[in-house]
Amino acid sequence: MASRRTEKPLPACYAMVHRGLEEIAADEIEQDLGGEVKKSGRGIVAFRVPELDRRLLRLRTVEDVFLLAWGSDELPYTSDALERIEQWTRKVPWPELLRWHHAIRAKPSGKPTYWLVTQMTGEHGYRRVDARKALARGLAGVFPASWRMAEENAAVEVWLTIHGKQAVCGLRLSDRTMRHRRYKQEHLPPSLRPSVAAAMVRLAGTGPGMVVLDSMLGAGTILAEQAELAQQRGLTDLHLWGGDRERAAVQAAAVNLRRFRPEILARWDSRQLPLPGSCVDRVVCNPPYGRQLSPDEDLAELYSAAVREWNRVLKPAGRAVLLVGDPQPLLEAIRPVGWSAQRQFRLRMLGLPAFLSVWRKRDG
């Protein structure tokens, strides 16, 4: 494990997250890594940690983690930006960043490879390919001639991400295993990204001995994230209950959750759960929305019947964490049961809006 080796300040880091989840990722960085968040917004959280080591790669609510090379809120929209990108890149102490990169990730074996990734959103007076060339000019001489460019599985990736006037550049520490969990063997089309499910279970605030229900569990991502978070926190007595009306979903969840031994894994209708009243501490669920519904199904009817059932099975003061596309039908379904709103987040997932909300049932 790499640790503080000199009195020099450690390089700063940043993480990429789904838009709208920055606050939850910042909380994980502060609580679980003792980090200090410097800035967050537009899907990026910049932070410093007291120790730079592989614990960075265990963050669950983020998609990728980087060592920060440079960042700016003042990148011109015009082609003047290209000169700045080149200059800022040239000033970076790359050998030091690469040493940290190799200390945290395994040092590349065989002939080393690298790749440059450029992402750009917004209107600019230059093209993405020009930004990439400017980045490459700024990096001239950094990688020895023996290093090869390789798009697939490069040992080192330098990323430049530009949103309007904001730009951030860094060395990617994570790889695809950060986003794709080992438990996820079976996939279903509407399955959640694990980092989003991880954010949901953090919001659920689960404690010892609690029963957590996902009554429309799909491939089981939420319960799997719940189980892994509980393991991280040493909670051994959590009860995972899940079900879905589709046989294929229950089968997929059974594979993905095998290691976590859910207590209930059933084929059921969430509008009529075969459960007694007041038996569940947390409902964490991502009901279908938009095109995930069959044409003859009515979203408002489904949500109000499901919310009535969740209200029945939740214990007094129990909590529900729900992720939907359009907030309106959910808010209308919740009004009659009188839950109090705790927190709300507007997300963007794969370019589409989504609404994540946390609710508390009345005390008695």
> What character string, x for contact with ligand SAM (CB under 6 A) and - otherwise, covers 183-222?
-----x-xxx-----------------------xxxx-xx
| Residue 226 binds ligand SAM (CB under 6 A) | no
> What character string, x for contact with ligand SAM (CB under 6 A) and - otherwise, covers 130-169?
----------------------------------------
Distance of CA 334 to CAs 52, 303, 337, Å? 44, 9, 6
CA distance 18 to 22: 7
Cβ-closest position to ligand SAM: 218
| Of the candidate residues 73, 80, 96, 246, the single one contacting ligand SAM (CB under 6 A) | 246
Order of strands across the sheet with 13-16? 36-41, 44-48, 13-16, 64-72, 166-172, 156-163, 113-121, 148-149
CA distance 77 to 71: 15
Nearer to ligand SAM, 157 or 309 (CB): 309
How many residues would you count in the chain?
A: 364
User: Could you tell me if 212 and 226 are in contact, meaning their C-beta atoms sit under 8 angstroms apart?
Assistant: yes
> 304 exposed, middle or buried (CB, 10 Å; 0-12, 13-18, 19+)?
buried
Q: Quote the least distance from Cβ 42 to ligand SAM, whole Å.
A: 25
Position 224: which residue type? A
Nearer to ligand SAM, 89 or 304 (CB): 304
CA distance 100 to 121: 29
Residue with tokens 């695809």: 176
CA distance 354 to 158: 30
Interface segment toward ligand SAM; rule CB under 6 A; list 174-182, 239-247, 335-343, 352-360: 239-247
| Residue 292 binds ligand SAM (CB under 6 A) | yes
By CB under 6 A, the residues from 269 to 288 that bind ligand SAM are 269-271, 286-288
Distance of CA 210 to CAs 31, 144, 145, Å? 21, 55, 57
Nearer to ligand SAM, 126 or 183 (CB): 183
| Residue 251 binds ligand SAM (CB under 6 A) | no
Nearer to ligand SAM, 291 or 362 (CB): 291
By CB under 6 A, the residues from 57 to 86 that bind ligand SAM are none
Q: Quote the least distance from Cβ 182 to ligand SAM, whole Å.
A: 16
Q: Quote the least distance from Cβ 33 to ligand SAM, whole Å.
A: 26
Nearer to ligand SAM, 140 or 293 (CB): 293
Task: For residue 201, report the phi and psi dihedrals to the nearest 5 degrees.
Answer: -75, -25
Q: Quote the least distance from Cβ 186 to ligand SAM, whole Å.
A: 9
Q: Quote the least distance from Cβ 200 to ligand SAM, whole Å.
A: 9
Supply angle C-alpha 230, 235, 240, rounded to 5.
Answer: 60
| Of the candidate residues 228, 244, 281, 309, the single one contacting ligand SAM (CB under 6 A) | 244
Nearer to ligand SAM, 90 or 184 (CB): 184
CA distance 227 to 201: 9
Residues at the contact surface with ligand SAM, assessed by CB under 6 A? 188, 190-192, 216-219, 221-222, 244-246, 249, 269-271, 286-288, 292
